Amino acid sequence: MMKNYIHPLLALLAFLLAACTTPKQNTADLKAEIDAARSGHYGQAMLHAEQSAKDLEAANNMLSHLENDHYWNIDEKQKALNAARSAAHHRLESEKEMCQWLTEVHSHNHYKGAKKTRKKHHSVAYFETGSAEPFKTRDEAISRIGHWLKEHPNATATITASTDTVGKPDYNQALSERRAKAVMERLVASGAKSNQLIVKAIGEATGPDNTPNQKNRVVNVTTSQSQDGYLDCPNLK
């Protein structure tokens, strides 16, 4: 008699279990959204950064346990070393991906093909009429240019000196040369090499004859540096 009851009970139990089982959810859409969040260089940078943080936390936890003699298994130290190395690896990969992302973002600043020359103009010395000794110099600018030329040996600076139209043209030509030399000596004293300096003594600037003009009694310096292209994180390998 007992056997006659067992089979129906088992069947009922199986039915109840089947009825209570939650149908398996379709997670394809959720996985797709997660993958989308991790896509691209920025997403991969975040992913590597998260993994680096997890590995570093694990390494620090094991270090703490080892220092407090909580572990007796020598393998734990190797696990900690592996976790620390993995953290460093993922940190570097995160930086690489971030630099790739920066390159994409800054692509409009990049240039290809022919070299591009960057130029900057500076007015550094002012003179009285007929004088080659500046009455006003921008010493900070001269010092900065000299140091910059020293740090960038492939760069150059053009020293352009002029005079106003007071006096004879021949005299003013020689005067502009002396003015250029005065600034050149200051640049060399600040670190520039003489072969980096190009002198353009133009004599009298244009204007009415025999007319004093402070704007023309000046020495300007134009720095130039050729570059092959813009690159984010050039030292990151």
Q: What is the pLDDT of residues 28-72, one digit of tens each?
A: 777 777 777 777 788 888 888 888 898 888 888 888 877 887 755
Helices (H), the chain: 2-20, 28-37, 40-67, 75-105, 139-151, 169-189
Q: What is the pLDDT of residues 103-138, one digit of tens each?
A: 777 665 555 554 556 788 889 999 999 999 999 999
Write out the two tokens for 117.
């020359």
pLDDT at 5 over 80: no
pTM over 0.85: no
Rounded to whole angstroms, the Cα distance separating 225 from 172 reads: 31
According to the model, what pLDDT value does residue 89 have?
Answer: 87
- H/E stretch holding 120 reads strand 116-126
Mean pLDDT of the chain: 82
Q: What is the pLDDT of residues 180-223, one digit of tens each?
A: 999 999 999 999 999 999 999 999 999 899 999 999 999 999 99
Q: C-alpha 185: how far from its chain's center?
A: 33
Task: Indicate the DSSP class of residue 129.
Answer: T
Rounded to whole angstroms, the Cα distance separating 186 from 221 reads: 12
